[in-house]
Amino acid sequence: MSRIAKLDPEAWDEGLRALVGSPSGHPLELGPFGITAHVPEIAKGLAQFGGALRANRTLPERLVELVRLRIAFHNQCRSCMAIRYESAVDGGLEEGAVCSLERPQEAADLSPAEKAAIDYGERMATNHLSIDDAVYDGLRLHLSEAQIVELGLWVGFCVGIGRLLATWDITEDLPAAFQDKAKGPVGPWAAEPVVVARRLAD
């Protein structure tokens, strides 16, 4: 069970439920909202920020999902690792690429832009002070200044929120491979993922 009690969607603030979407959404995706629903005004602000990061980005969906999943691996956020967003799957994400995240810099099926973005996200998750001028110069080979800012905000969101979710231990709705902590760290390639649509109402 989660370390923080989840509120049933029927008990959520009406405005939060309208913002997030129908309570018929997959329980794995709605779990974090069930916890943040304890503070509905803050939850709405967080949902709007996350929604703005998704709705207004210019980076490819596949790239941002690969970055999110590699960060989730370092955070050991099991609920984050178990999800694939439908928009990313529609944008060309396949499980072979997810498996490549085990050793992304050696992967033949990841583009140079994806490898640069994954490296940036990985550094933010493990040693942010290793990000120097050379790392930003490397990103500029593939991304515009605006896209680098976009990537940075997405990475910051994924690192911070992912670490928080990992401590909340929202594992009850996960595939079995993500529930057994006795086996130690797992990767997003550990089990068949749950594909979910973005729930935030437009």
> In this predicted structure, what is the pLDDT of residue 28?
66
Least confident of 15-24, 45-54, 85-94, 102-111: 15-24
Give the mean model confidence (pLDDT) for residues 65-88. Answer: 94
> In this predicted structure, what is the pLDDT of residue 54?
87
Q: Could you give phi then psi for residue 171, rounded to 5 degrees?
A: -115, -10
Domains with residue ranges and CATH for the chain: 59-196 (1.20.1290.10)
Instruction: Tell me the average pLDDT of the chain.
Output: 91
> In this predicted structure, what is the pLDDT of residue 201?
43
> In this predicted structure, what is the pLDDT of residue 199?
53
Banded model confidence at residue 25, pLDDT cuts 50, 70, 90: low
pLDDT at residue 24 is higher than 70 = no
What whole-number percentage of the chain has pLDDT above 90?
A: 69
Banded model confidence at residue 9, pLDDT cuts 50, 70, 90: confident
> In this predicted structure, what is the pLDDT of residue 153?
97
Give the mean model confidence (pLDDT) for residues 135-146. Answer: 98
- Tell me the C-alpha distance between 151 and 164, whole Å: 20
pLDDT in tens, 43-73: 999 989 988 998 889 999 999 999 999 999 9
Pairing mode, if any, of strands 194-196 and 83-85?
Answer: parallel
> In this predicted structure, what is the pLDDT of residue 202?
38
119: its two tokens? 């490296």
pLDDT in tens, 164-184: 999 999 988 888 889 888 878
> In this predicted structure, what is the pLDDT of residue 68?
97
Banded model confidence at residue 140, pLDDT cuts 50, 70, 90: very high
* C-beta separation of 188 from 101 below 8 A: yes
Greatest CA separation found in the chain? 50
Banded model confidence at residue 147, pLDDT cuts 50, 70, 90: very high
- Tell me the C-alpha distance between 198 and 189, whole Å: 21
* C-beta separation of 175 from 195 below 8 A: no
